[in-house]
Amino acid sequence: MNSKSVSGFSKLNKSQKIEWLSQNYLVESDDEQSTFETYWLPDQNVQKVIDGFSENTISNFIMPYGLAPNFMIDGKIFCVPMVIEESSVVAAASSAAKYWLDRGGFKTTILGTTKVGQVHFKWFGKHALIESIFPDIQAYLLQNVGPLIENMSKRGGGITKIELINFTDDEPGLYQIRVNFETCDSMGANFINSVLENFASGLEEYFVDSGLIPDELRDVDIIMSILSNYTPDCLVRSEVSCKIEDLGTFANGMMAEQLAEKFRTAVKIAHIDPYRATTHNKGIFNGIDSVILATGNDFRATEAAGHAFAARDGQYRSLSYCEIKDGIFRFWLDVPLAIGTVGGLTSLHPLAKKSLDVLGNPSAEQLMRIIASVGLAQNFAAIRSLVTTGIQQGHMKMHLMNILNHLGASDSECSDAVVFFEDKTVSFSGVRDFLSSIR
Ligand code: MEV
């Protein structure tokens, strides 16, 4: 066994884990307080809550928490919290929010709120038989699951559809029970998975006890029960529009008509070419993920759903659309967002809770509207830069501070550098040369 392996690691306390790590893995040793300890929270109760989210924790990984004000969404103005480490994302969102504030803001539509779960199983009887008794199976499963869904039903949610899907052409004996859920303001992952596991054991019982299945076919083999992160019917649209002439004039003196046409073409390219579509959608998720993180939602689930949705016709394409018709510029985003504003981390993480407070404690649907609008704003800002000045000008301006910090610049050196690079291209070597020239 590798000498660096360990058993009983989870039983060590934090300091012991750090000690073990530095003895076995760290190349640079911390002389004073360990870097990991520097980021422990002073309030031990909060630290305990944060530690409870994961396992084997030794520290907290900090990220910037920023605000993008001036988001007018369906007539109401929001200041949106964003957690992201990439320079210029918050600045871009804020700039696009302000731009559209003067042009009617973002208008949103909830296109669906359905979440999905699946019980995968094998059974080797005749398909016609299972199909004919499926209504009876459904009734049995629903009766069985009753107490589990009581609370959700009271809140207006629950199970909205149950289907049997036959995959036996792809794999002998393979079926799926696909279940649609309404989970109201919760993301509902635990609720869905509990219902599905209950369905799985109910299915096994039904095959043994119903008396409708011949003795030799009573064995149903449950493979797995789990929600699906593909949620094409938990979908929100956010859009902006205005008369072309109201778009105004852009950097480099670009006029509204030219901007509109280049912009439309840039979006079209992301519908034609998956290489561009991936970058284009990544920009959208710069906005989406940062609000998902700030509100304690699951960014992996959101990303997985978004990218699967982007490939729903067999080719990966843009999640946003642009149209120029009758003198109107219209730009919109359709994105699946299976999120929650109650349960999970949303109320446990102190800053997630605060973010929801900042947003006026929205329902899950309201949060879908906000997040989609931030995604669209981000996409708007990125394309506007790409088709006018190029992305690097703004990006490197924001990145200047990172380079200065990296090179250990003082406050006054930073101020001088900002003035010096006002009309110049920022690069690592350029900043290094500038600092040596003034030091
Ligand atoms: C960078 O994080 C995101 C962009 O590349 C998005 C885009 O190209 O549309 C600027």
* pLDDT tens digits, 99-136: 999 999 999 999 999 999 999 999 999 999 999 999 99
Name residue 187's amino acid.
Answer: M
Across 368-396, average pLDDT:
92
In a domain, 54, yes or no: no
Catalytic annotation present for 433: no
Q: Could you identify the residue written with the tokens 């596991």?
A: 197
- Any idea what the CATH number is for the domain that residue 376 is in? 3.90.770.10
* pLDDT greater at residue 165 or residue 391: 165
Note the pLDDT of residue 237: 98
Catalytic residue, candidates 43, 86, 131, 209:
86
Question: What is the CA(383)–ligand 1 centre distance, in A?
Answer: 8
Quote the CA–CA distance of 436 and 154 in Å, as a whole number: 68
Do residues 378 and 286 both lie within one domain? yes
Do residues 146 and 212 both lie within one domain? yes
Tell me the percentage of the chain whose pLDDT exceeds 70.
98
Q: How many residues does the chain have?
A: 439
Task: Work out how many domains the chain is built from and give that number.
Answer: 4
Q: Which residue minimizes the CA distance to atom 9 of ligand 1?
A: 280
Question: What is the CA(379)–ligand 1 centre distance, in A?
Answer: 8
Strand partners, 82: 66
280 CB less than 6 Å from ligand 1?
Answer: yes
Secondary structure (3-state) at 171: coil
In a domain, 56, yes or no: no
Atom of ligand 1 nearest to the CA of 391: 10
Do residues 244 and 355 both lie within one domain? yes
Note the pLDDT of residue 141: 97
391 CB less than 6 Å from ligand 1?
Answer: yes
Atom of ligand 1 nearest to the CA of 286: 2
Quote the CA–CA distance of 124 and 216 in Å, as a whole number: 10
Domain that includes residue 296, residue range? 65-110+236-389
Question: What is the CA(51)–ligand 1 centre distance, in A?
Answer: 34
Q: Which residue minimizes the CA distance to atom 10 of ligand 1?
A: 382
Quote the CA–CA distance of 182 and 364 in Å, as a whole number: 12
Listed range (85-89, 250-254, 294-298, 371-375) with the worst mean pLDDT:
250-254
Do residues 35 and 123 both lie within one domain? no
Supply 130's token pair.
């299972």
Phi, psi of 222 (to 5 degrees): -75, 125
Terminal Cα distance for the chain, rounded:
53
Cβ-in-10-Å burial (0-12, 13-18, 19+) of 401 comes to middle
Do residues 248 and 372 both lie within one domain? yes
In a domain, 167, yes or no: yes
Largest CA distance in the chain: 89
In a domain, 283, yes or no: yes
Catalytic residue, candidates 98, 107, 282, 397:
282
In a domain, 2, yes or no: no
Question: What is the CA(433)–ligand 1 centre distance, in A?
Answer: 28
Note the pLDDT of residue 31: 64
pLDDT band at 251 (very low <50, low <70, confident <90, very high): confident
397 CB less than 6 Å from ligand 1?
Answer: no
Catalytic annotation present for 399: no
Side-by-side strand order, sheet with 174-182: 158-166, 174-182, 115-122, 221-228
Arithmetic mean of pLDDT over the chain: 95
- Any idea what the CATH number is for the domain that residue 119 is in? 3.30.70.420
In a domain, 151, yes or no: yes
Do residues 362 and 305 both lie within one domain? yes
286 CB less than 6 Å from ligand 1?
Answer: yes
In a domain, 93, yes or no: yes
Q: Could you identify the residue written with the tokens 């309404």?
A: 182
Helix (H) or strand (E) holding 203: helix 189-209
